[in-house]
A and B are shown apart, each in its own frame.
Chain A
Amino acid sequence: MSKNPYQSDDIQLLRLSTAGSVDDGKSTLIGRLLHDCQAIYEDQFQAVQKASKKKGNGEIDLALLLDGLSAEREQGITIDVAYRYFSTPKRKFIIADSPGHEQYTRNMVTGASTANLALILVDARKGILTQSKRHLFIASLLGIPHILIAINKMDLVDYKEDKFEEIKKDFLKFSEKLDIKDLQFTPISALKGDMVVNRQENLTWYDGPTILSYLENVQTISDKNLIDFRFPIQYVMRPNQDFRGYAGKIASGTIKKGEPVMIIPSGVETKIKSLYWDEKEVDEVATPMSAIITLEDEIDASRGDMIVRTNNLPIASNDFEAMVCWFDTTSMKKDHRYILKQTTNSTSAFVTKLNYRININTLHREKEADTLELNEIGRLSIHTQHPIFFDTYKKNKQTGSFILIDEATNNTIAAGVIIDKGKKTSFIHGDKELTSQKGAALWLTGLSGSGKSTIANHLYKRLKERGLECEQLDGDVMREHLCQGLGFSKEDRDINLDRASFVAGLLSKHGILTLASFISPYESQRAKLRKNIPNFIEVFINTPLKICEERDVKGLYKKARAGEIKSFTGISDPYEAPENPELEIKTPETSIDKAVEIIINYLLDNGYLGNTNRMR
């Protein structure tokens, strides 16, 4: 095996799912990855050598490393999802390897449900096929943040660059219709070993990373929700008369000792008395820990209930809309009783309506469809006997996903992701009054290059995902729409800021969350803004000048140093740091994700976001 990855305390875990059509060479690719990373032991390799000889093909068949069941080896196919493990000094990898034929969609969905990255294999001779499209669709449906397309068998198309580019273009065109965050392409030959672990000499025109180098270095977008505290009660522990603990895995968010919480569906409010994790009492717990919570008051809560923050509630309803993939040979029946399992909750469920079936090849919505068969995907309206507590899957994978079980056979017959609440949603939150968002102006102040706009952009996306109304204002927006013709003199800059202040004030007054990013360097300016704008929230993005100057995205510092820009903040004009901002974010030590989390938590704690989620 390769070098010790366990020396570093915090090696990352990357879960990837692979998929490919029957002869794309997926098993060969994984076999190659394992083999070239020395993750295969000699006795395992010898077993493969022995089996390769038996099959009579000359080369050592690395695919045989993966085909674990005798039926698979006999038929030369892969039947079931197989899990593989390997590590490099940088990361530990878990591969969920889904076969590309029989039970195809079901296995792909299974493998993809926990993946951070999807690796999709394509035969360079065949290009984009129906199955490649299915993979992409499922990866986007299940919200896998990164997708890597490996265009394989480049050796059989003479390693031609134009072939690679042609296939890449087809994929990009198809993916336009999907919600994909990050899509990458690598030309490879798994059989010959080109661009898998080693670059070799056949693809010199390609200057991107090899498969392994990409897997080791991809900056994983966090798909953990650290904001919305959701604790589905899994098990009630009563080791003695004096102890009543609620055990569970924190689905999302964090919670501290002493914080006010609500139990749903009862709506009872109480406080966190103590938290246990790792055989000791702790002050704070966070997702994805398995923890134990005790509450201040004696409350009769049980498995399936959920502990949440009073000011941040999930949706509680008997009705919702979901995209569902059908897994069983018996087709979906309307108004038939199924068992739905979501978080730790199980209840009877009925499909009230099939809104449409998705044609995965064309992405066309087939409204005339009247059922779902094995491996088909459609949008269903579902009614449950008891209310369930959920968020949309996009916002929260753990609380937005469910499975359906057939009570006659006990088989898992479908899996779904919740995309919307139902039309006749009934909220069940005790007597708690439900509130919606309030307007506010988040004023991000800081040096040029401090990261104001970057943070605002991320924040904007996250707020939108939560279904909130928000707008962004910054120098570029102002100069494009409201301040054409203004220059950069002191007077002109003042006018620019006055106009921005007026717009932010209007938006805030009318219930919109406004994200305004302006250097606004003087204390006097900001005091004036605070006076004129309702719900003004000052956010100081505190980044050292040296770092801003190193970044110098627009080349302004260089010009200022050369004297080409007069009175430039930080160089030839002062920046008066805010003395009492509502929030101060120090970068670069605070990551963008963390900064966004801090701001959203502030908004939640101060009631700006309302206590439940609006849905779009």
Chain B
Amino acid sequence: MNHLKQLEAESIHIIRETVAECKKPVMLYSIGKDSSVLLKLAEKAFYPGKIPFPLLHVDTGFKFKEMYDFRDYYTKKIGVELIVHKNTEEIAMNLDPREAHTDRYIYYKKTKPLVEALKTHEFDAAFGGARRDEEKARAKERIFSFRNKEGAWEPKNQRPELWELYNTRLEKGEHMRVFPLSNWTEADIWSYIKEEEIEIVPLYYAAKRKCLQRNGIYYMLNEFVQPEDNEKVEELMIRYRTLGCSPSTGAVLSKADTVDKVIEEVLTAKGSERELRVIDHGSESSMEDKKKEGYF
């Protein structure tokens, strides 16, 4: 068995363990490439049956159109239940796309509705596609990551994980975040997408797209990103390494229009994949702080 099949076996074990031990699991679905891999693993885990839990998409309303299209197409194709949850409070609805990188935006558009949705539906386990190689705070998180009644992560009070034995016990109101892709790297994800011919949002592949440059970062033109004074619109070959909210996710100049070319590019990249996610760079410990509040 090659290393990807080993990682696959581990991830499937984690997904099944969650379903066997938790009362009501849900899979957080962000429509990104990691979500696509996670969904494929869930399909495999329960073949020849269907996935026995719903997907939850916490929608900020500012995702790329291509992402919404893909979400609706793919979930229908495999016949899985999809729950879309949006924070409809006035304070959240009034947030402008230009604020998409701020802590306030993350809190009201992502963290708060996520914790809310988990509570409303009484989900006690939520799968996420986070990987430990993405970020320093993630590197220290468990596969079964315990959250208290407020949905918060306590980095100093984590349960040790040994062998393949996971402690999934919870009190009412507490929940688990489960990360089956913990041991995968970006290169593993892409190699697996290739090997398993997994469908992903087309924005991951390079194409000629209309975009503008803002603070040194390329943004694709769409309903949320429109040129302001002095901003020049160009048509360039670009693609995305990660997909988030369209006003806060930058594209890279790239000629990689096939999965092989993407793998080649990923392996020779000089910057990390979250480099262009503006939300990570608020302060030096921004991811850790957000996680403590309940962010993924």
Contacts and interface: CB of A to CB of B under 8 A. Distances in A.
A278 B270 CA distance: 34
Interface in A265-307: 276, 278-279, 288-290, 292, 303
A249 interface: yes
Nearest to B283: A70
B169 A79 contact: no
B285 A4 contact: no
B170 A410 contact: yes
A70 B160 contact: no
Contact of A85 (B2, B17, B132, B264): B132
Interface string A30-45: 0000000000011110
Given A234-B20, A243-B48, A68 B137 contact: yes
Contacts, number: 183
A42 B267 contact: no
Contact of B163 (A5, A248, A398): A398
A279 B44 contact: yes
B12 A290 contact: yes
Contact of B140 (A69, A85, A106, A398): A69
A234 B171 CA distance: 22
Given A69-B137, A85-B132, A290-B12, A303 B20 contact: yes
B50 interface: yes
B249 to A, nearest CB: 15
A401 interface: yes
B125 to A, nearest CB: 14
Given A43-B275, A289-B9, A79 B165 contact: no
A301 to B, nearest CB: 14
Interface residues of B, number: 64
A134 interface: no
B47 A276 contact: yes
A35 to B, nearest CB: 14
B162 A11 contact: no
B3 interface: yes
Nearest to B6: A13
A6 B183 CA distance: 16
B217 interface: no
Interface string A365-381: 00000000000000000
Nearest to B156: A79
B191 to A, nearest CB: 5
B271 interface: yes
Interface stretch (A182-190, A336-344, A503-511): A336-344
Interface string A64-91: 0111111101000001111111010000
B206 interface: no
B263 A398 contact: no
Given A10-B2, A41-B271, A411 B162 contact: no
Contacts of B170: 410
A145 B182 CA distance: 24
Nearest to A288: B9
A290 B139 contact: no
A596 to B, nearest CB: 20
A415 interface: yes
B48 A276 contact: yes
A96 to B, nearest CB: 10
A278 B2 CA distance: 14
B13 A234 contact: yes
A530 interface: no
A85 B165 contact: no
B284 interface: yes
Interface in B39-76: 43-50
Contacts of A114: 162-163
The contact size tier of chain A is 35 or more
A79 B271 contact: no
B16 interface: yes
B167 interface: yes
A44 B43 CA distance: 35
Contacts of B137: 68-69
A109 B162 contact: yes
Interface string A298-318: 000001000000000000000
Which of A50, A83, A341 has the most CB atoms of chain B within a 10 A radius of its CB?
A83
Contacts of B84: none
A411 B154 CA distance: 13
Contacts of A83: 132, 139-140, 182-183
Contact of B45 (A2, A82, A290): A290
Contact of B20 (A73, A278, A341, A344): A344
B162 A6 contact: no
Contacts of A405: 167, 169
Given A13-B3, A85-B133, A110-B161, A4 B267 contact: yes
Contacts of A6: 187, 191, 263, 267
B48 A11 contact: no
B155 A247 contact: no
A84 B133 CA distance: 7
Nearest to A342: B165
Interface string A230-264: 00001101111001010111000000000000000
B261 to A, nearest CB: 12
A532 interface: no
Interface string A534-553: 00000000000000000000
Contact of A70 (B167, B272, B285): B285
Given A42-B271, A235-B20, A290-B9, A403 B169 contact: no
B139 A68 contact: yes
Nearest to A278: B44
B162 A290 contact: no
B288 interface: yes
Contacts of B9: 249, 288-290
B112 interface: no
A398 B165 CA distance: 9
B288 A87 contact: no
A142 to B, nearest CB: 9
Nearest to A289: B9
A398 B156 CA distance: 28
Contacts of B50: 239
Interface in B264-278: 264, 266-272, 275
A235 B16 contact: yes
B154 to A, nearest CB: 11
Contacts of B6: 13, 288
A327 B160 contact: yes
B164 interface: yes
B227 to A, nearest CB: 27
A9 interface: yes
A3 B169 CA distance: 43
Contacts of B163: 113-114, 397-398, 401
A71 B191 contact: no
B28 to A, nearest CB: 21
A453 interface: no
Which 3 pairs, one residue from A and one from B, show the smallest C-beta to C-beta distance?
A239-B49, A68-B136, A41-B272
11 contacts: A1-B266, A13-B7, A41-B272, A70-B285, A79-B155, A235-B20, A237-B46, A279-B44, A339-B169, A344-B17, A403-B162
Interface of A: 1-6, 9-13, 41-44, 47, 50-51, 65-71, 73, 79-85, 87, 92, 94, 106-107, 109-110, 113-114, 234-235, 237-240, 243, 245, 247-249, 276, 278-279, 288-290, 292, 303, 327, 339, 341-342, 344, 397-398, 401-403, 405, 407, 410-412, 415
Given A50-B284, A106-B160, A239-B46, 13 more contacts: A6-B187, A6-B267, A41-B270, A47-B284, A69-B137, A71-B156, A80-B140, A92-B185, A238-B49, A341-B167, A398-B163, A403-B162, A410-B170
